[in-house]
């Protein structure tokens, strides 16, 4: 028991003077030493918990030490230790509470003052206050910190720079941190993070770095530049790597990063000698599969002058036989497979087979598959995702200055997925979704959901209540809600042609309407689509931008398959782009800033291998889609 606590306890009773004398006698030097030794032991225990990764327990131990410490400086140090442990545990609320009690005074030692700022920066990062975090770490002098906290400063600064999109500076900080990391696991994590930041840096920015052969940082930059230029060509990359190794012998990247790059170069070298297509050609999805096949083959025939054009084999493949079809294609010598088209078939394939042949799937998985790194690098996903279109509709509306949205969508899985995708992206951007109304897919009554969306039904209810109160008829014109500045519509042409007039009828004709490509059949119908006037939607150049369209292929497909081209217009474009993407796959995966002009959109690829489509934006005018940004949309 601390002497001071003994005095405080007894001073509450009678005989204050006597108790003070007793307390003084009790406070022997030996007891003080024992108490100090106990505090040191608890401190060591907290540090051991921290080292073992039991952050919550360490935070609790530090909080106990702070509560019973006799020294203000020690109490501050323990509170900072508790905040540090809570941050490592991922509990920003508890960390913030600990920091609230860690008050800095004029005479606070410089190291504790700097540590407090460092923890404030970590807390700001946890809250998404990235600019504040960067300002805090910029104001900390590393020399005022002990070695362990100096490393934490460099790491926090790297994280803050990355959060503010200065990836090159983040990588440079991690390179500075690397020599100070004694733990092998920490070194590996730091090197992978460093490499990730370099890969997120614009190649033009990397190219402007001044290189000094033999310098460790220059080695990282030069390796990143070499990988960007040639990783998708394994033979070329091995040559680049041989030259790099001669300039940077003993570089830390040789231990982990370079072997991983060599494995990736093999997986990313997409130069097929035999292609197989796995498509449903009979049954429920036969029409869709046939359209993709014919679009692919149309592009293949148009590429007759290419000496590296691979032969193509086609297999009927659906959910029930997808694994057997995949095995047959491999056994027949295919080194690149296109398909499957059905999402359920793709999910089954990656669940039951290790992807050991480059696969360009014509759909997208909701979650990345649990598979090896090599298999993950061989999997590419390319589809016409309605969720992606909904997210882009949110981005377009936000770009146009809208803030408060209403949404109307059909009941069922498709409407739910599309609406959730729009809502999620809209709220990420800072928009507010005021209300969502769902309608039955087979309904003919679109007045009721439109009234609900615009709060017309509530206005009518208020008028009826007033009539009941006054016991006489009251003439009140129902008014639509005034707090929204856009409507997001998830609908197909038949429904959209009825919803849009209902919005106008209820005095919401001036309310901008954004939609996905599903509101447009793909064929211009001036008479029937006049009811869609004013709707803004994103679609593929193949259908809405004649200047970006491959006119020769478009005309040939319209001539050879007129009925199918009207029924499945977007799937012909998907097939065309699937063929033309084959030689681009490795390059797009390595060069995330690279763009490829396709018939389905401006194409790029994320780190997972999913092809991203940038849509062309149009508005219905006089029954036909017209470019919203004609200068930006055209070549």
The arithmetic mean of pLDDT across residues 441-453, rounded, is: 90
Q: Work out the angle at residue 338's Cα, subtended by the Cα atoms of residues 334 and 339, and round it to the nearest 5 degrees.
A: 125
In the chain, % of residues over pLDDT 90: 56
pLDDT band at 13 (very low <50, low <70, confident <90, very high): very low
The arithmetic mean of pLDDT across residues 42-59, rounded, is: 77
User: What b/e string do you get for 102-119 counting C-beta neighbours within 10 Å, with b at 16 or more?
Assistant: beeeeebeeebbbbbbbb
Q: What is the pLDDT at residue 84?
A: 83
Condensed to tens digits (0 to 9), the pLDDT of residues 328-350 reads 999 999 999 999 999 999 999 99
Cβ of 488: how many Cβ atoms within 10 Å?
26
Q: What is the pLDDT at residue 60?
A: 86
Q: What is the pLDDT at residue 219?
A: 94
The arithmetic mean of pLDDT across residues 424-432, rounded, is: 95
Give the residue from 339, 334, 323, 348 showing the smallest Cα distance to 383: 339
d(C-alpha 222, C-alpha 284), whole Å: 52
Q: How far are the Cα atoms of 113, 196, 208, 302 from residue 296, in angstroms, in the given order?
A: 65, 35, 41, 10
Question: Would you say 573 and 599 are in contact if contact means Cβ atoms under 8 Å apart?
Answer: yes
The arithmetic mean of pLDDT across residues 283-296, rounded, is: 97
Q: What is the pLDDT at residue 5?
A: 38
Q: What is the pLDDT at residue 467?
A: 54
d(C-alpha 381, C-alpha 609), whole Å: 6
Kindly tell me if the per-residue pLDDT of 17 is higher than 70: no
d(C-alpha 466, C-alpha 564), whole Å: 57
Kindly tell me if the per-residue pLDDT of 204 is higher than 80: yes
Residue with tokens 């199918």: 564
Kindly tell me if the per-residue pLDDT of 631 is higher than 60: no
Q: How far are the Cα atoms of 11, 27, 278, 416, 594 from residue 5, in angstroms, in the given order?
A: 10, 11, 79, 62, 68
pLDDT band at 464 (very low <50, low <70, confident <90, very high): low
**β pairing state of 486-489 and 404-410:** parallel
pLDDT band at 125 (very low <50, low <70, confident <90, very high): confident
* Span of 58-62, 158-162, 421-425, 614-618 with lowest mean pLDDT: 58-62
Condensed to tens digits (0 to 9), the pLDDT of residues 63-72 reads 888 888 878 8
d(C-alpha 588, C-alpha 604), whole Å: 6
Q: Domains in the chain, please, with CATH?
A: 193-268 (1.25.40.650), 275-381 (3.40.50.2300), 386-633 (3.40.50.2300)
Condensed to tens digits (0 to 9), the pLDDT of residues 362-394 reads 999 998 888 877 788 899 999 999 999 999 999
* Span of 11-15, 276-280, 414-418, 448-452 with lowest mean pLDDT: 11-15
The arithmetic mean of pLDDT across residues 512-525, rounded, is: 97
Strands (E), 250-361: 275-279, 312-316, 336-338, 358-361
Condensed to tens digits (0 to 9), the pLDDT of residues 556-606 reads 999 999 999 999 999 999 999 999 999 989 888 887 778 999 999 999 999
d(C-alpha 88, C-alpha 300), whole Å: 54
Condensed to tens digits (0 to 9), the pLDDT of residues 137-151 reads 888 877 767 887 888
Q: What is the pLDDT at residue 21?
A: 31
312 pairs with which residues across the strands? 275
d(C-alpha 505, C-alpha 500), whole Å: 9
Kindly tell me if the per-residue pLDDT of 32 is higher than 80: no
Q: Which two tokens stand for residue 631?
A: 């200068």
Going by the DSSP 8-state scheme, the letter that residue 208 receives in this structure is T
Phi then psi for 429, rounded to 5 degrees? Answer: -75, -20
Q: How far are the Cα atoms of 518, 532, 567 from residue 499, in angstroms, in the given order?
A: 14, 9, 23
SS3 315: strand
Q: What is the pLDDT at residue 258?
A: 93
277 pairs with which residues across the strands? 314, 338
CA-based Rg of the chain, rounded to a whole angstrom? 32
pLDDT band at 14 (very low <50, low <70, confident <90, very high): very low
């Amino acid at each position: 028991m601390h002497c001071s606590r003994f005095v405080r306890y007894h001073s509450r009773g009678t005989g204050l003077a006597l108790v003070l004398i007793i307390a003084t006698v009790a406070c022997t030097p030996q007891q003080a030493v024992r108490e100090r030794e106990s505090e040191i032991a608890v401190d060591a225990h907290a540090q051991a918990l921290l080292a073992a990764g039991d952050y919550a327990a360490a935070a609790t131990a530090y909080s106990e030490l702070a509560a019973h410490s006799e020294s203000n400086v020690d109490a501050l140090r323990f509170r900072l230790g508790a905040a540090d442990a809570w941050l490592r545990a991922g509990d920003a609320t508890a960390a913030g509470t600990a920091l609230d009690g860690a008050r800095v005074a004029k005479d606070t030692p410089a190291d504790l003052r700097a540590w407090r700022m460092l923890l404030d920066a970590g807390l700001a990062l946890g809250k998404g206050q990235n600019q504040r975090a960067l300002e805090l770490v910029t104001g900390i002098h590393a020399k005022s910190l002990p070695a362990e906290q100096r490393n934490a400063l460099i790491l926090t600064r790297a994280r803050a720079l990355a959060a503010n999109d200065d990836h090159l500076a983040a990588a440079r900080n991690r390179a500075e941190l690397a020599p100070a990391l004694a733990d092998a696991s920490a070194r590996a994590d730091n090197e992978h993070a460093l490499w990730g930041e370099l890969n997120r840096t614009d190649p033009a920015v990397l190219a402007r770095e001044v290189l000094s052969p033999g310098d460790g940082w220059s080695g990282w930059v030069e390796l990143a530049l070499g990988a960007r230029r040639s990783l998708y060509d394994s033979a070329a990359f091995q040559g680049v790597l041989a030259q790099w190794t001669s300039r940077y012998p003993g570089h830390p990247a040789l231990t982990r990063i370079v072997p991983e790059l060599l494995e990736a170069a093999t997986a990313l070298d997409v130069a097929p000698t035999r292609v197989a297509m796995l498509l449903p050609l009979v049954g429920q999805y036969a029409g869709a599969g046939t359209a993709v096949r014919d679009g692919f083959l149309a592009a293949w025939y148009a590429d007759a002058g290419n000496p590296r054009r691979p032969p193509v084999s086609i297999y009927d493949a659906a959910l029930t036989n997808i694994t057997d079809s995949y095995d047959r294609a491999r056994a027949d010598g295919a080194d690149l497979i296109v398909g499957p088209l059905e999402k359920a078939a793709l999910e089954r394939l990656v669940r039951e087979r290790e992807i050991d042949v480059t696969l360009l799937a014509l759909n997208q998985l909701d979650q990345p598959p649990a598979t090896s790194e090599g298999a993950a690098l061989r999997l590419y996903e390319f589809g016409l995702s309605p969720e992606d279109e909904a997210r882009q509709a949110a981005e377009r509306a936000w770009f146009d200055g809208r803030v408060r949205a209403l949404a109307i969508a059909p009941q069922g899985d498709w409407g739910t997925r599309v609406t959730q995708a729009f809502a999620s992206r809209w709220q990420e951007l800072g928009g507010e979704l005021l209300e969502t109304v769902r309608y039955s897919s087979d309904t003919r009554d679109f007045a009721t959901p439109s009234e609900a969306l615009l709060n017309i039904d509530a206005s009518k209810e208020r008028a009826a209540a007033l009539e009941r109160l006054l016991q006489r008829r009251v003439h009140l014109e129902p008014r639509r809600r005034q707090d929204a500045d856009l409507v997001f519509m998830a609908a197909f042409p038949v429904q959209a042609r009825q919803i849009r007039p209902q919005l106008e009828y209820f005095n919401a004709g001036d309310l901008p309407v954004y939609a996905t490509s599903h509101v447009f059949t793909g064929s211009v119908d001036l008479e029937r689509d006049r009811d869609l006037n004013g709707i803004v939607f994103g679609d593929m150049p193949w259908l809405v931008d004649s200047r970006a369209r491959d006119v020769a292929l478009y005309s040939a497909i319209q001539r050879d398959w007129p009925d199918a081209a009207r029924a499945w217009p977007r799937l012909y474009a998907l097939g065309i782009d699937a063929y033309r993407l084959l030689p681009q796959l490795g390059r797009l995966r390595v060069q995330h800033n690279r763009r490829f002009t396709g018939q389905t959109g401006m194409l790029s690829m994320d780190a997972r291998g999913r092809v991203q489509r940038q849509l062309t934006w149009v508005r219905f005018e006089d029954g036909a889609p017209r470019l919203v940004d004609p200068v930006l949309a055209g070549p």
